[in-house]
Each structure stands twice: as C-alpha cells, then as structure tokens.
A and B are shown apart, each in its own frame.
Chain A
C-alpha cells in the first residue's frame, strides 16, 4: 500500500468533495425539491391536462437513465444550438431527476394525510391553498422525510456521474490522480471511502431530523 500516495491525494479528493460533490448535491437537491413539490401538486390537480403533464414528466424521468439525461443536456443540446457549461448542465440534470422521484414521494405523502384534516381545515374556514400550506404539507413533510433523505443520499453518490461531463468533483479528482500515478486501486478505494464518510454523516443527520419531526406523534 502506498501510504504516501494516499496522503498526498487525500487533499485534492476531499477538496473535490467540498467544492464539487457537496455544493452540486445541495444545489440540485434544493432546486429539485421545489420542482418536486410543483410536479406533485400538478399531479394532484383536477385539471386533466395539468395532471397528465406531471405524469408524463415523472414517467420520462423515471424511465430513462440519469447518465443518459446528463449526456442529452451536456453533449446533445449543443447540436441544437444550446450549449450549457458543465456545472449548470449537472445541476439541471440532477434537479430534474430529484424533481421526478421527489414528486412521487411528496404526492404519496400528501395523500397519506387523513381526509379529516382537510375537513377540519375547511371547517375553520380555510380555502384549499391555505389548508394545503398550513395543515396538509406540514404533516406530509414529516411522512416524506425518510424517503426524501434516501433520495438525497442517492444523489450524493449519483453526482459522481458529473465527472463524465467534466465537472471537477470528488471522483474526477481521484480519476485524474489515478491516471497519472496508475494506482487505480488505491485511488478508487480512497474515493469510495470519502463518499462513504459523507453518507455516514448524512444518515446520522437523517435520524436526528426524523426524531425531531416525530415530536408530535405518539410512540
């Protein structure tokens, strides 16, 4: 084992995580969640066209590989005259992906709130939108935290695909050092270890968040 190589490469790889993987994940997830909520509400709309559009979107996102989506945006769009640089391409692809998967999670969570909650909200005079915002979504949020956390953790790992469209992140740093040193095993295991540490940290944060959100539920 070449410990010296591990020592010198750890800096760039961790920098790739801090400056690439993590901000890419955070930005994509934040935008993706907003999109997911919008798509979920569209999907629940009584207007056929609106819910149909949402359904089609979800179907396309879930029915095609993320890598292919990424390539369409970065390598495909330039040929129709739309060139997007690596970072924005990655953020667009990842947030659209979270938007599709997250929409189904949020929709299910909204539907899991008992009908009586809508009725009580109406009884105290709330129209639909207000009832959704003040009564339904806070309860749906609690239900959707575990599955959305899983989406988040998957996203951390999926961002490694961005290395293929030239985004400098954790895995691309490892690849570049490996190409020079030819120590593929050392560097890829090291990259895996850094991903693992990040995900371990996130899982802990997830359980803390779930415990906090559980405070108004009987055990």
Chain B
C-alpha cells in the first residue's frame, strides 16, 4: 500500500505565495510550504489561522486568489492567472483528503464508499477496486465491516474508512484536516496509529492537527501558521519544544494547558 515511486526526499509538493480572501477577510496572505516525498508535515496554529483553507486549496476545494501550487515535476498551477477546470482536476487528482467530520457517504456501505471514486470516476474494473478496498480495509482492521453502513460504526471506525477511501484514490499526497478532533478521546488512538503506520510506509502527508504530542511523534516538520502567514517552521522538537517566536510560544503553552 506504500507509494513505491523512487526519489524519496525529492520535493513533491511546493506552495508559494498562496493568497485567498473571503470578501474583506484576508485568510491566506502568502503561504509558502514545501513537502518532500515521504515527508510528514504537521500544520498547526490557532483557530481561524487558515490551515483548513490551505488543505482545501491543495485539493481544489477552494480556489486561491494568487500564488501557486506545484506537485511533482510536471504539474504547476499558477493562480495569478485564470485557472481552468482541467488544471484544478489535475491538482485534485494528486491528493486525497481525510475530513474532520469523515464525510462518508451515508447511503453506501463501507465497501461502496471506498470503491465509489475508483469505479465511477477512475473507471477501474470493479473486481480490482473491490479487491484493493478489501485489502486496505483489512490493513486498518475493518475487514468485517465492509457491508456495514457508516451509521453502524463508531467515529473512530468511520474515520478509518475515511482514510481508506482516500488511500483508494492512490494519491501522491494525503491531506488530513484534524482527523481526530471530532472523536471521543478513547477512539483517537486507533486513528493516530493508522496514520503513524502510513507515515512509516513512506506516504507523503500534510496533517492539520491540535494533537501536539502526536505531531512531535510523527511529523518530520512542523509548520506554525497564524493569521494567514507561516510564522515558524522546523523540526517538531524545535517548533513545539523551544519555539523562537512569541506567538508560537503562546500557542504551544495554551494547548498544553488544555490537557
């Protein structure tokens, strides 16, 4: 299930000068980001700092007003110029998103949720898609739930299905938006364990999270955002352990007090 392309460590995803406003609200004010193949980047920051908007932009769920996104060495999307549907679709194909509230399709079984994109969008033969889905479900311990409907699953199980649905899209980059923040505390561990496994297998991931302990454990780099800008970035033990900037320090202190 791991992406076996060569070139681990080569730049895979680059974001430069990304800008986005909602009306008068300037949400992203020139974001730069670089993710190397196989790297895990944790995006942290206070509420409203624009983390979700960055992830959504990477998956073409939001169209930035300016700046650019590069994925691999053949896809460059320049938002300073008019961007066509085709470009947005190409960008979307490179990544897959795991949502905070899972967003599973409630009228479909677990298996149907997972094969929906491969079969109905990518036109993969159904038997292949089913075989792959079953293998992935097995990996996250949900093989016996393939015919269950989402409402019959716990939050943690639903989120693991969400992860499998994303994996089945065979993306180059996995995007997680606070994948555990809607979960009961006792269910968080299972989901984090799956994400940890994926990182060990070499998946490239961008994870928005408030779980600083987890970020420290799994991330190769932590990026701290505030008010639409990247304030500080670096190794987890530096950014979360001995932050250089006041705002980072305040943020880390506040989160640690909460637990």
Give the residues from 108 to 141 in chain A that come closer than 8 angstroms, CB to CB, to chain B: 114, 116-117, 119-127, 130, 134-135, 138-139
B70 in the interface (beta carbon within 8 A): no
Contact at B101–A122, with CB atoms within 8 Å? no
Q: Is B120 an interface residue (CB 8 A)?
A: yes
Tally A-B pairs: CB < 8 A. Answer: 65
Nearest B residue to A142 via CB reads B107
Give the complex CA separation of A122 and B103 in angstroms.
Answer: 12
Which A202-219 residues have C-beta < 8 A from chain B?
A: 215-218
| A-side interface size class | 20 to 34
Closest to B152 in A: A218
- Contact call B116/A139, Cβ cutoff below 8 A: no
- Which 5 A/B pairs are nearest by Cβ-Cβ distance? A124-B117, A125-B121, A120-B103, A116-B103, A218-B151
Q: A122-B92, A124-B169 are in contact. Are A216 and B107 (CB under 8 A)?
A: yes
Residues of A at under 8 Å CB distance from B?
A: 114, 116-117, 119-127, 130, 134-135, 138-139, 142, 215-218
Interchain CB contact under 8 A, A125 and B165? no
Assess the B116–A124 pair: CB atoms within 8 A.
yes
Bound complex: CA of A120 vs CA of B59, how far in Å? Answer: 11
Taking CB atoms and an 8 Å cut-off, the chain B residues in 93-132 that contact chain A are: 93, 96-97, 99, 101, 103-108, 116-117, 120-122
Q: Is the CB of B107 within 8 A of A138?
A: yes
Residues of A within 8 A of B152 (CB): 218
Contact of A216 among B99, B117, B121, B151 (CB under 8 A): B151
Residue contact A126 to B107, C-beta cutoff 8 Å: no
Indicate whether B149 reaches chain A with its CB closer than 8 angstroms: yes
B83 at the binding interface (Cβ < 8 Å): no
Q: Of all chain A residues, which has the CB nearest B96?
A: A123
Measured CB to CB, the closest approach of chain B to A133, in angstroms, equals 10
B92–A125 touching, CB < 8 Å: yes
Q: Is the CB of A125 within 8 A of B117?
A: yes
Q: Residue of A at shortest CB range from B148?
A: A216
